[in-house]
Amino acid sequence: MIGVIGGSGFYTFFGPDARSITVDTPYGQPSAPITVGAVGDHEVAFLPRHGARHEYSAHTVPYRANMWALRALGVRRIFAPCAVGSLTAQLGPGSVVVPDQLVDRTSGRADTYFDSGGIHVEFADPYCPTLRSAVTGLPGVVDGATMVVIQGPRFSTRAESQWFAAAGFQLVNMTGYPEAVLARELEMCYAAIALVTDLDAGVAVGDGVKAVDVYAEFQRHIEPFKKLVQEAIGELAGERSCTHCLTHQGIELPFELP
């Protein structure tokens, strides 16, 4: 089964014929019931990251429950569409980017399942190369960018935005961490697909980011964005062949993965 985690404005993926599954986990309930449907020959599980009606802000999303629930249903490969701000004028609103690196600037988020056992996860390249290539081969998709993940729920100050850009980062987001590392801990392939909704505060003097504008821009692109995710799923083989994301080989874990 392939997973899709929808970001801000991406709350549905299937029609009324999809079945809804409620999953409980050791970390509580996920953001919403998971809907399961078909995309071509693939069975796909969809979960809206922020809840069905955006009940969860970025810093309150139950990330551990979300990822555990998907794994428990049989998901081993995840596409994670998300809204991002751009730190460079070269990536304007409407651009679709598949990041290859992230920088964590969050704080206080539960970001591991291994609170005991001395388990260390390889994370040098945080995204699955196989999933990334399925998206980057599609027309108009930008291959590669560093996404800095901020705590939220506020947007960056102009100075912070300029600092991130000066460090060489291209995208800014609030939800890409700890989602990516939790996927790696559960040995699930994971790739973000970023839709640029705005130029961040440091890019253009006098402009600032407003949530209403971000949501409006995302809605303008939501249908072609969903189609692109469907096309990416169609590029995947029936069975997972990636070994990059099997990080626990040869390691005895303190508990069994779901």
174 carries a ligand binding annotation: yes
Inter-CA distances, 96 with 20, 100, 149, 221, Å: 29, 13, 17, 10
1 carries a ligand binding annotation: no
199 carries a ligand binding annotation: yes
Exactly one of 100, 143, 200, 207 is catalytic; name it: 200
Find where tokens 């309150």 sit. 60
Judge whether 115 counts as a catalytic residue. Answer: no
57 carries a ligand binding annotation: no
50 carries a ligand binding annotation: yes
| Distance separating alpha carbons of residues 82 and 148, to the nearest angstrom | 13
8 carries a ligand binding annotation: yes
49 carries a ligand binding annotation: yes
175 carries a ligand binding annotation: yes
Measure the CA dihedral 5/6/11/16, to 10°: -50
As a three-state string, the secondary structure of the chain is CEEEEECCCCCCCCCCCCEEECCCECCECCCCCEEEEEECCEEEEEEECCCCCCCCCHHHCCHHHHHHHHHHHCCCEEEEEEEEEECCCCCCCCCEEECCEEEEECCCCCCCCCCCCCCCCCCCCCCCHHHHHHHHCCCCEEECCEEEEECCCCCCCHHHHHHHHHCCCCEEECCHHHHHHHHHHCCCEEEEEEEEEEECCCCCCCCCCCHHHHHHHHHHHHHHHHHHHHHHHHCCCCCCCCCCCCCCCCCCCCCCCC
Exactly one of 115, 198, 207, 213 is catalytic; name it: 198
Judge whether 200 counts as a catalytic residue. Answer: yes
Binding residue ranges: 8, 49-50, 174-175, 198-200
User: Binding site for substrate: which residues?
Assistant: 174, 198-200
Question: Per the annotation, where are the binding residues for phosphate?
Answer: 8, 49-50, 175
Question: Hey, which residues are catalytic here?
Answer: 198, 200
